[in-house]
Structure 1
Amino acid sequence: MHPFRPNILYLHSHDTGRYVQPYGYAVPTLNIQRLAEQGVLFRKAFCAAPTCSPSRASLLTGQYAHCSGMLGLAHRGFSLNDYTQHLLHTLRKEGYHSALIGEEHLSKDRNAIGYDYVSKIEGFNSNVVAPAAIDMLTKGLTQPFFLSVGFFETHREFMKPGTPGDVKYSRPPAPLPDTPETRRDMAAFKASAAALDRGMGEVLDALDDSGLAENTLVICTTDHGVAFPRMKGYLTDHGIGVMLILCGPGGFTGGRVLDALISHIDIFPTLCDLLEIDSPRWLQGTSMMPLMRGEVEQIHDAIFAEVTYHAAYEPMRAVRTQRWKYIRRFDHHLGPVLPNCDDSPSKDVLMAHGWKERSRPLEQLYDLIFDPNEACNLANDLSVAVVLEEMRTLLDDWMYKTNDPLLRGPVPAPPGAELNDPDQMSASYPTRFV
């Protein structure tokens, strides 16, 4: 009897959060909607780090960023401790052929990751990535395969708004005021999301046309929240909430929507469980397969997320349960770390109204039932002091269990890393090298 070895198509975007149609947002993405209606959508899926390389490293190694070594951005000098911990190397032992088309953001040199094939394309926008993926699927790819297709969209700079109507009638994300500038910014995001959706749809159509869809598990996700102020790089749900749709063999069918807490680090162990292979010793996530088989309603009581470096040092950790969110800072920078917020018209609006002078609390506690936008910090509210202590303990226990380097004080960047100063206004300001 031959082992069960479906193909795996990993479709991933930049900075999309959950701002796509099947999560209820007014962002038309018909192809992603179609995939959701065919597969399983996870309504409460979260990244393990709301910054680019640490998030992707967590998904693809099945461990937290401070354990994998990817504490900051790969193009700024951070890296995995061990690239053989990447998912593709475990799959290779099971006979999988691996190919990378587009972006993965885990190494300055994409060839260093270990893929059997790395596409030689100029740029990672959907109009370049999708044709390259289609060409590979239609010309024949050694099976079983692990195909990583990474789109630049919806990273900034966004595309121009599609229509004047989009500029007039778009609604900015929840953490932002509704102004002409933020509406135009959101309309531009929607144009980029449309390009992403077209690219993903073209790849999915090629998968169907090539006769591979029936035996291919599609994993569709993004790295973290959208690139707006107080979203990307933040540990609120605006920053760590991600789209996650799985479609294909293993029970990932039927248009189901699940509300269980899921972390990106659960994908690697889920694939091991699905393929009935031993999980590598370093995995820190939990298989979703008991959830898919209906054996349990939850696989986590809590999920965890972290930031250490983005453009600048900003150490933070968070724990989230179904009801509560607790965030703790580990630095003494009083105001927002502005280099970690992408430049944008929306950022300009906040800056014009004194964002730089606003202080940040060392601790944040949010009741996600009564305050889903995480706007009312209850850390100093004595009526929830017991909850605060429980959440502190959960976070402390996780940090000790995973040997978080923050327990030993400030975390140094590796030699050669490129950093902004936390006091600067933008990542575009002059940097220094460690």
Structure 2
Amino acid sequence: MPCPISRRQVLAAAPAIRTTAQSSHVNILYLHSHDTGRCIQPYGYAVPTPQLQKFASEGVLFRHAFDAAPTCSPSRAALLTGMAPHSCGMLGLAHRGFSLNDPSRHLANYLRSQGYLTALSGIQHETAAGRVPELGYENVLKPKSSRGPDVAGAAAGFLLSRPKQPFFLSCGFFETHREFPVPGPQDDPRYILPPAPLPDTPETRQDMAAFHASARVLDASMGAVLEALERSGLAASTLVIVTTDHGIAFPDMKCNLNVHGMGVMLMMRGPGGFAGGRVSDALVSQMDLFPTICDVAGVPKPAWLQGRSLLPLIRGGKNEIRDWLTGEVTFHAAYEPQRSIRSRRWSYVRRFGSKRTPVLPNCDDGPSKSVWLEHGWRQRPVDGEALYDLIFDPSESRNVLAQYPEEAEYWRGLLEQWMRETNDPLLRGDVPPPPGARLNDPDGLSPREPVREYD
């Protein structure tokens, strides 16, 4: 059934309390979704998200923001440690047995060490459910579920309760992860276009209509939290970050090192100059958020950070802070080792190992996946190495490696140099799963199939 939500109902969870924001404090509100990519209204998609559109008009929107990994835990771990997934140790999914090398480097732990009250409402994906305190959250809120309305209600209650300042509140929503809610009247599949990699069929339109329904819940839920922030009187002293972990859960998107898997929404509003409805075309990584938060909050940047602050783009007069960024996949539901490097013009992807057909357990089940499977996706070859010209092929569908050998050699060398500098374990051969990891067979069909647990 559809999941309607009323901001009035959410905000009724706590009384309206207005406090006076202290200018010396910069609070951090981190709003994050599952599997949304850039498929929202502010990025030009026909997915109605009026609350996020309003937020974009008040802050700064980054058109070319990318995750460090198009898979759940590695992406979030990279954002929240400021390090590549293989550097912070998160090579796979936390609920499947993978973990951070050093949880003390998590943003919540670091900000807590700097005097911040740290709180979590809803989803995190950087550790197992029973080990959340090791990430540094002093206050773990207890929403009834990880669904948007419940998470928003708990977060609103926190914001309206006169929290100690400064605070860091992480607010994680299940939406827009599968399974999607049933589309409502506003999500008529007859008039919906499937995402770019997919054919336009009744099945894919229905699938995308269900995504629309999920995005509607996400939008209203994030809007409720933002409204609570306004009512609390803390908006002026709070840096709000709105983002997601990776692309949407459709074939050739989530878990793929292309724009459909790595491209993410990133919008920010608050202290530091993040205001005015501006749009940045700079190439940025989610690893750049940790050092940006440090700069805005006025706390030292720890030595382990691999990202770069966004502030030169906002108030330093710069148009770019980097020439390229990297991406990686090692484990998701199954082993699929890949690394990538991209610039404004080129995207280079290299697969490791010998498998040259799709790793289907790494694609979530759904109607769109079924369409591809019915037409022979399982047997389609996958290039071991690929180069894409992003000017003439922004969807990254035509491999031009053979046509541009010198360009390929340059990006291949730069990727290998980065792997050496960051001590990437793939340089030493296949990466073994850690003890206790639970993984699907790469030659399987679905992440729901039986898994193997490693000793």
TM-score by length of 2: 0.93
Offset, 1:114: 2.1
Task: Give the C-alpha shift of residue 362 in structure 1.
Answer: 0.5
Aligned to 1:100: 120
Q: Which residue does 1:314 correspond to in 2?
A: 336
Match of 1:380 in 2: 402
Match of 2:8 in 1: none
* Alignment partner, residue 132 of structure 1: 154
Among residues 254, 260, 268, which one is paired with 2:282 in the alignment?
A: 260
Deviates more, 1:97-106 or 1:137-146: 137-146
1:283 alignment partner AA:
L
1:269 & 1:85 partners in 2: Cα distance? 13
Shift in CA distance, 412/181, structure 1 to aligned 2, threshold 3 Å: same
Q: Secondary structure at the match of 1:178?
A: coil
RMSD of equivalent CA atoms? 1.2
Letter of the 1:262 counterpart = V
Once the two structures are overlaid, the 10-residue window that deviates more, 90-99 or 401-410, is 90-99
Q: 1:197 aligns with which of 212, 219, 227?
A: 219
Matched, 1:184 2:172: no
Deviation at 1:47, TM superposition (A): 0.2
Query: How do 1:291-370 and structure 2 match up within 5 A?
Result: 291-370=313-392
Unaligned runs of 5+ in 1: none
Any conservation in 2 of the 1:4–1:275 contact (CA below 8 Å)? no
CA–CA distance in structure 2, aligned partners of residues 334 and 87 of structure 1? 37
Whether 1:214 aligns to 2:230 is no
Q: CA deviation at 1:90?
A: 1.9
Deviation track 1:93-149 (CA, whole Å, cap 9, x = no partner) reads 221100000001111122332200112233200021011111111122111100000
Identity %: 59
Structure 2 gaps of 5+ residues are 1-21
Aligned length, in residue pairs: 431
Separation of aligned partners in 1, 2:300 and 2:251: 41
Aligned to 1:408: 428
Match of 2:106? Answer: 86
Q: Check conservation: 1:15, 1:225, Cα contact below 8 A.
A: yes
The AA in structure 2 aligned to 1:176 is L
Q: Look up the match of 1:58.
A: 78
| Whole-angstrom distance in 2 between the partners of 1:105 and 1:178 | 33
Residue 165 of structure 1: CA displacement? 5.8
1:159-170 counterparts in 2 under 5 A? 159-163=181-185, 166-170=188-192
Contact 2:348 2:385 (8 Å CA) reproduced: yes
What is the CA–CA distance in structure 2 between the aligned matches of 1:131 and 1:275, rounded to whole Å? 26
For residues 146 and 420 of structure 2, what CA distance do their matches in structure 1 show?
A: 39
- Offset at 1:164? 7.3
CA–CA separation in structure 1 for the residues paired with 2:306 and 2:348? 21
Query: How far does residue 4 in structure 1 lie from its aligned partner after superposition?
Result: 4.1
2:63 pairs with 1:12: no
Higher mean alpha-carbon deviation, 303-312 vs 162-171, is at 162-171
* Aligned twin of 2:258: 236
Query: Structure 1 stretch 324-333 or stretch 88-97: which is displaced more?
Result: 88-97
Deviation for aligned residue 1:239: 0.1
Structure 2 residue 417 is the aligned partner of structure 1 residue 397: yes
CA distance in 1, matches of 2:186, 2:366: 19
How many Å separate the matches in 2 of 1:264 and 1:325? Answer: 18
